[in-house]
Structure 1
Amino acid sequence: MTRSTFSGFTIAQLAMTASQRALDVTGQNIANINTKGYTRQQVDLVSINLRGAEPTSSNPGSKIGYGVEVSGISQIRDPFLDVQYRNQIAKVGTADARQAVLDQLGNIFDETDKDALKKALSDLSSSLDQLSSNANNSEFDSIVRSRCQVLLNYIHQKSADLKTTREESIYGLENTDIKTVNSLLSDIGELNDTIWKSQMLGNPSLELMDQRNSKLDDLASYLPISVSYKEVTIGTNAKYNYPVVTLNGSNGMSYELTAGEHGENFAAFSMDQHLDLDGNPDGTVRISVIPAADYPAGTDLSALKTDITDYLKEGSIKGTVDMLNKSGELDDPASDFRGLGYYEKVFDSFVNSFAKTFNDLNGNMQPYTGANVLPSSGSATPMNTDGNQKAEFSFGFSNTIGNFLNNETFTFNGKTYTFGGDGSGDTIVIGSTLDESLKNLADKLNTNPVDLSVNGATPVPGTWNYDNVNKKLTWTSTNNMPSGTAITKDSIKLQGGGPIVFSYKANPLNVKNFDLFKTSDGTKKFTSSNIKINDDWMNNSIHIISTHDEKAGSTANDNILKMLKSLTDNRDFKYEYTKMDASGNKSTNYISFYTGNFSQCYSTLENNQGIDSSKNKSILDNHVTVVKKTANDKDGVSGVSLDEEGINLMHYQKSFSAAARFMTTLDQALDVLINNTGVVGR
């Protein structure tokens, strides 16, 4: 067989070069042992073999190769572990996002080691018990009111905390999670482009690939993604694999997150707040994506925007969306998770039931008047006349407050007048102020003048006027009184000697509202945020009604006992909501969620939070354990081990030394061939 004289040197030189490159790669691995996301590298070696037959070779089977060739530098990764890790980290993201909100709910409702709402309910019960023994006592009534105010303070605080939790979750989702996802996708697209350009120049870009893999792992914690690789041929024979990232929906649909010639295009996510039936944000959110496409940069893809809220399977975005959008058994139809909505709805229903129960028990049947503190009687102006004075009789309204109401009546000397209307007939126009109304009253009295008797003498004609400065409604005789008439404050009376009085009656339809609680926004439905103590109760114009029996004595307390009993009576707690059918018709529906008393209802809410948190934490711990195991397995394959790299150092050093020794041996053999061959017989 013909053999090149110096071919052995080539084999030795290639072996030394391969060992040197292997030592370089080993050093690179050792240098990056603490670099996050770094993947262990290795030298890819192939044997250089002869191709075809040579005519000078008598036996082709005896041919040998021409040494070793470094075909490239590659990473040591297990694709299956990558898939497993990304699937598990998405599950961790879901449970972790849920747990973050559940922990905040625990701070709101957990009263294991603090006095709050349940203690306030107990104190309210004690104050009602004291009031029952002191019925109609304003001091004990104010104590009950104070206890109610303390209770409402706790309710308002919890309501504010719930609102803050929801607002913070929405803000974090929109300004942290969504922005991070979009940033990761942008980085992945940019890395795809950079790696492609670098590999076009012959650079394997392994460190850039490490960065991309780290971005993909981070992205997997937010969304359920799958990563496949598409092969693109660059140059003559070089091939480049770029990742195709896909979002997998629970509806079986897939949404491409990267696209383009080499993965440079990327998707974009957005969040919108959902609107209720009245067009107002209801605290829930919608997640949309504009999938990646193979269109040129700058193309408007807004028409591709797709709502994927209900199709998210795993990831921290789904965990946060679940907490914002789902209410468990209080959804219609029921959902699979108790989010913030469940706790808000139960708490609001608890408050609504409490307020309505006490308002119903304190309902009043008596009509009320618009003008209050009217004078009970009037008096004449005392004087001894000299023939130049007129008689006067006045009612003082300086202490009167309010104004007359529609259909209230005023009776004088058997004649009844009705407030309201245009002033025709027996109606009196209600003025914009009490002064205007009293002036209109004086004018109406003058349309049916009544003569009054002075000291029992012949009836004296006169007219009525209202003085808005001195706040007096005054009758003045038409003519001067005879000289020597002595008028005292009781001298002027009706004909027949009766006292001059007005009879003011309320409109029977105007029933005095004795509600203890009102809504701050004027709506009929009480919530934890809008409940407040009625202003009339705060200023003592109404009170807790001790009994509805008009014949009962002042010490009767049967209604207070009903209030006291209502705190411990079992009742059906219901969540009320409005639903719209396919035809656009609204209807009010109810979902019963608990039967028991007020304290038990709140305790159940508290316990449910603890159960939900404990259950989710167990799930989170399990997922974390699995992902740690998977991460360890990944590190076992892709991570740098000092022991292994130390062995490689010795291995490649010995390999280099052996190749060098091989070259020395060849040199010695060639020396024999050149200098010692053919010298016999000289």
Structure 2
Amino acid sequence: MTRSTFSGFTIAQLAMSASQRALDVTGQNIANINTKGYTRQQVDLVSLNLRGADPTSSNPGSKIGYGVEITGISQVRDPFLDVQYRNQIAKVGTADARQAGLDQLADIFDETDRDALKTALSNLSSSLDQLSSNANNSEFDSIVRSRSQVLLNYIHQKATDLKTTREETIYGLENTDIKTVNGLLSDIGELNDTIWNGQILGNPSLELMDQRNNKLDELAGYLPISVSYKEVTIGSSEKYNYPVVTFNGSNGLSYELTAGEHGENFATFSMEEHKDSDGNPDGTVRISMIPATNYPKGVDTSSLKTDVTDYLKDGSIKGTVDLLNKSGELDDPATDFRGFGYYEKTLDSFVQTFAKTFNDLNGNMQPYTGANVMPSSGAANAMTTNGTQKAEFAFGFSNTIGNFLTGETINFNGTEYTFGDGSAGTIEIGDTLDKSLENLAVKLNTGFASLNVNGSSVPGQWKYSVSGKKLVWTSDSAMASGTVITKDSIKFTDNNTISFLYKANPYNVKNFDLFKTSDGSKKFTASNIKINDDWMNNSIHIISSHDPNAGSTANDNILKMLKSLTDSREFKYEYTKLDSGGNKTTNYISFYTGNFSQCYSTLENNQGIDSSTNKAILDNHVSVVKQTANNKDSVSGVSLDEEGINLMHYQKSFSAAARFMTTLDQALDTLINNTGVVGR
């Protein structure tokens, strides 16, 4: 078979069409040189040859093709660089999220250019030094109290700032990061569906693929992902592929983020605040996901929900979770990063040690009484009766102040009466001393209604006279005329002297604690420590000496307080955990040995070291990402120089093809019009 005479025109026409399409693609590249995420496109060309082996065809040496064929338009990308970029951007996300939190901590604890907690400690020391020279002076005592309040104000401010920082971080994680991740996954699923449908209809959807790649790159900043492409054959020969996106856990497992017929289904993430053993939020969080499945949309897959908090190995979500969940060496077991918890726990431990130290030094272990200036004895009303007068015996309370306290007792002729709430046989304490003594009188009538008057038992009744401030026994009947009653005539029925012995409760210890908790709890924190109200209203003071025989100028206890600020001590973090049996146990982690100022300086220095170390790591990752991005741009980005060369190249190619067609036309004209005309 001979080659068609007009086949050359087909070659020229295909060559012109290929050059024209190449010029169009070059123009598209130039137009999108500033479009973010645009991938350079190219025309895919192959040589066209429709001839097979044929024994009647021309000999092998003279066979040629039929021109060029456009097989499609494709993107110029390097899959390895995509993988490298996404791996590195996840590391940048981790370090960047951590750095954001560390920068906030620096604003709280860095005192290099301002006076704050360390200065307050120094001022407290100075005020104690002044008090030691002016022991028991209320003016200097109030100065110490004021300096202590300034110190607590700084502590409260730092506790509030830490709480606010944690709350803002949790809010940002839940309402920004998690929502962004879910939005990206949703967009990727929709793009997968749209691109798939477009490609089946013959549209390469390259611009949509650029959008998808941009979202995959953005997603990689939040989570460690990998992207592979699954090829599917449609019909007998058409092949299409779609991306399969997976989350790579630190446990070595992978969780599908896209699934379905062509990647249209997608995973969802959620965040929950973790609760302690008492059911209260403890400031830490848990990250969960429902992986993508091949189930049709609408099928409930909530049972597949998986906690992946401990499997996050890179990405900004990992960095944020580290800030919220990790406390470094104050975790049990210790973790690899000092997040917010480290600074909260250290500050709380600092406060607990400070409050306990000063409260212990100012402790007063002497029991105290509720009522003061109590009578220890009474007397009968002396007289010689005229036959109408009754016998009387009275205890006077005109000088008594205060009121009875729970557990205090009155011993009456060997019988002990205890004051309390009126239950279990106790005498109910009234709102006033008068009311309490009225209640006492009622009790005495059950056991001591009768007394001896001049040796004879006489029935009577006890009553308390509010107007006279007396606890009085009065005989029921008038005494016989001429009865002589002296102040010592009335006694108990056993003729013993009537005694009234008031005894304090040994457990009623005067509380001289300088610091209390604002919420009534037994455990001090940076948030709840406050000056004791009794110290604020001058009901108590700093005890100068615990030696009862010391003079008014003794100051040994104040010197102990002063020394306690500079003494080296062990700082411990106390925490509660559940043992294997579900029982709460208290454990301790010792984290520093030194004085108060040094402990806080160490906290401040650790923050600076953590920040500078993380900043160096972040800069290194950013440098690698930039280099990888540059390598990606060199392959996939649009270069004006390269596209300019392509313009000239394809323009000349088009011109050559056109010239080829003209040459063929001239040759054919000669063949048709000028061949075989000899002899006409």
TM-score (norm 1): 0.89
Q: Residues 76 and 135 from structure 1, CA distance in 2 versus in 1: closer, same or farther, beyond 3 angstroms?
A: same
Is 1:585 paired with 2:583? yes
Q: Which amino acid aligns with 2:636?
A: S
Indicate conservation of the 8 Å contact 2:351/2:526, yes or no: yes
- Stretches of structure 2 that go unaligned for 5 or more consecutive residues are 382-386, 480-485, 491-497
Q: Which amino acid aligns with 2:549?
A: K
2:577 is paired with a residue whose SS is strand
* Distance of 2:543 and 2:676 partners within structure 1: 136
Instruction: Name the residue aligned to 1:143.
Output: 143
* Distance of 1:374 and 1:91 partners within structure 2: 77
1:158 is paired with a residue whose SS is helix
**Aligned counterparts, 1:207-218, within 5 A:** 207-218=207-218
Indicate conservation of the 8 Å contact 1:260/1:295, yes or no: yes
What do residues 371-394 of structure 1 show as CA deviations (whole Å, max 9, x unaligned)?
A: 57989999999xxxxx99999989
Q: In the TM superposition, what is the alpha-carbon distance from 1:60 to its structure 2 partner?
A: 3.2
**Aligned counterparts, 1:94-493, within 5 A:** 94-371=94-371, 403-406=404-407, 408-410=408-410, 417-420=417-420, 429-431=427-429, 433-434=431-432, 436-445=435-444, 448=448, 465-466=463-464, 472-473=469-470, 475=472
* Distance of 1:375 and 1:198 partners within structure 2: 104
Q: Which amino acid aligns with 2:216?
A: L
Q: Residues 197 and 449 from structure 1, CA distance in 2 versus in 1: closer, same or farther, beyond 3 angstroms?
A: same
* Distance of 1:302 and 1:181 partners within structure 2: 18
What do residues 76-131 of structure 1 show as CA deviations (whole Å, max 9, x unaligned)?
A: 11111101100110000000000011111111111101111111111111111111
Q: In the TM superposition, what is the alpha-carbon distance from 1:580 to its structure 2 partner?
A: 2.4
Indicate conservation of the 8 Å contact 2:393/2:472, yes or no: yes
* Distance of 1:471 and 1:304 partners within structure 2: 82
Indicate conservation of the 8 Å contact 1:403/1:433, yes or no: no
* Distance of 1:141 and 1:647 partners within structure 2: 87
281-290 or 234-243: bigger deviation:
234-243
Indicate conservation of the 8 Å contact 1:405/1:419, yes or no: yes
1:589 is paired with a residue whose SS is strand
What do residues 551-584 of structure 1 show as CA deviations (whole Å, max 9, x unaligned)?
A: 1111111111101000000011111122322222
Q: Residues 395 and 242 from structure 1, CA distance in 2 versus in 1: closer, same or farther, beyond 3 angstroms?
A: farther
282-291 or 76-85: bigger deviation:
282-291
1:278 is paired with a residue whose SS is coil
Q: Residues 448 and 225 from structure 1, CA distance in 2 versus in 1: closer, same or farther, beyond 3 angstroms?
A: same
Q: Residues 64 and 402 from structure 1, CA distance in 2 versus in 1: closer, same or farther, beyond 3 angstroms?
A: farther
1:139 is paired with a residue whose SS is helix
Q: Residues 645 and 336 from structure 1, CA distance in 2 versus in 1: closer, same or farther, beyond 3 angstroms?
A: same
Q: Residues 542 and 676 from structure 1, CA distance in 2 versus in 1: closer, same or farther, beyond 3 angstroms?
A: same
Work out the percentage of aligned pairs sharing the same amino acid. Answer: 79
Residue from 551, 570, 588 that aligns with 1:553: 551
* Distance of 2:618 and 2:127 partners within structure 1: 45
1:270 is paired with a residue whose SS is strand
Instruction: Name the residue aligned to 1:563.
Output: 561
Q: In the TM superposition, what is the alpha-carbon distance from 1:517 to its structure 2 partner?
A: 1.2
Instruction: Name the residue aligned to 2:495.
Output: none
Q: In the TM superposition, what is the alpha-carbon distance from 1:473 to its structure 2 partner?
A: 4.9
Is 1:600 paired with 2:598? yes
1:569 is paired with a residue whose SS is coil
* Distance of 1:648 and 1:467 partners within structure 2: 118
What do residues 644-667 of structure 1 show as CA deviations (whole Å, max 9, x unaligned)?
A: 111111111111111111111111
TM-score (norm 2): 0.90
Q: CA RMSD in A?
A: 3.4
| Number of residues of Structure 1 aligned to a counterpart in Structure 2 | 663
- Stretches of structure 1 that go unaligned for 5 or more consecutive residues are 382-386, 454-459, 483-491
334-343 or 432-441: bigger deviation:
432-441
What do residues 114-154 of structure 1 show as CA deviations (whole Å, max 9, x unaligned)?
A: 11111111111111111111111222111111111111111
* Distance of 1:373 and 1:220 partners within structure 2: 80
Q: Which amino acid aligns with 2:503?
A: K
Indicate conservation of the 8 Å contact 1:398/1:471, yes or no: no
Instruction: Name the residue aligned to 2:652.
Output: 654
* Distance of 2:489 and 2:138 partners within structure 1: 44
Indicate conservation of the 8 Å contact 1:327/1:339, yes or no: yes
Indicate conservation of the 8 Å contact 1:430/1:436, yes or no: no
1:71 is paired with a residue whose SS is strand
2:230 is paired with a residue whose SS is strand
Q: In the TM superposition, what is the alpha-carbon distance from 1:525 to its structure 2 partner?
A: 2.0
Q: Which amino acid aligns with 1:70?
A: I
